Amino acid sequence: MKIRVRKLKGFVLPTLFAMLFTGFIATTLIVRKQLTEPTFNDDSDFNYTTKSIFEDEVPTVNSDITIIKPFTSDKVTVSKSFYDYTANEDSQKKSLILYENTYMQNSGITYMSTEVFDINSILDGVVTEVGEDKTLGKYVKIRHSNDMISTYQSLSEVTVKKDDEVKQAQVIGKSGKNNINPENDNELQFELSYKGQYVNPDEYFDKKVQDL
């Protein structure tokens, strides 16, 4: 039996190549259109990463900067010291706060004066909270870039607001009163936390940031 070999006509191969090329171009255009069009038509379908992550950045504190006290008046004295678990019994008793027949350990230092005094930020930072507590009165909380948060309570006046950038020594308010010692009109309850733990502010004042 003879096998008949059929030859393709001259126009067939060019036609096949033309069809393949046209198909390739069409596919490319479709894919490009899909890549350039948004996946969602409505922004409510998904959440963007907002710019707040950048706005929350705290100005870096110069490592040569020395931490200052939250006031400059020489008439300010200590009313209650920080409660130190390692201190002797007598010192611990003097650091207890009596409020509504309950003794509380002082997590900061209570300052007092016979006259109104300015309250200053101890370092550069960003105000994270401004509010009023029924026990401790008006307060300001400032976050610093060196894992430190300073809190100023018992204020009569506040001169900053949330998200404000503040400079070291900037006046953020004035001394006031609270419901723990209502007989004293000029008080500051100051607290300092470092790396998530309350610390004795006296051990950090006049110390360089680089030495922490």
Domain residue ranges in the chain = 77-211
Residues contacting residue 185 through CB under 8 Å, at least 6 positions apart: 116, 176, 177
How many whole angstroms separate alpha carbon 140 and alpha carbon 151?
6
Question: What token pair was written down for 100?
Answer: 């509504």
pLDDT of residue 44: 41
For the stretch 51-99, pLDDT in tens is 333 345 676 777 789 999 999 999 999 999 999 999 999 999 989 998 8
For the stretch 175-184, pLDDT in tens is 999 999 888 8
Residue with tokens 């920080």: 82
Q: Which residues of the chain have pLDDT under 70?
A: 1-57, 59
| CATH class name, domain 77-211 | mainly beta
Output the DSSP codes for the chain: -PPPPPPPPTTHHHHHHHHHHHHHHHHHHHHHHHHHS-S-SSGGGS----THHHHTPPPPPPTTPBP--S---TT-EEEE----TTS-HHHHHHTEEEETTEEEE-SSEEEE-SS--EEE-SSSEEEEEEEEETTTEEEEEEEETTTEEEEEEEEEEE---TT-EE-TT-EEEEEB--SSSTT-SSEEEEEEEETTEEE-GGGTTT-BGGG-
pLDDT of residue 174: 98
Residues contacting residue 16 through CB under 8 Å, at least 6 positions apart: none
How many whole angstroms separate alpha carbon 141 and alpha carbon 172?
10
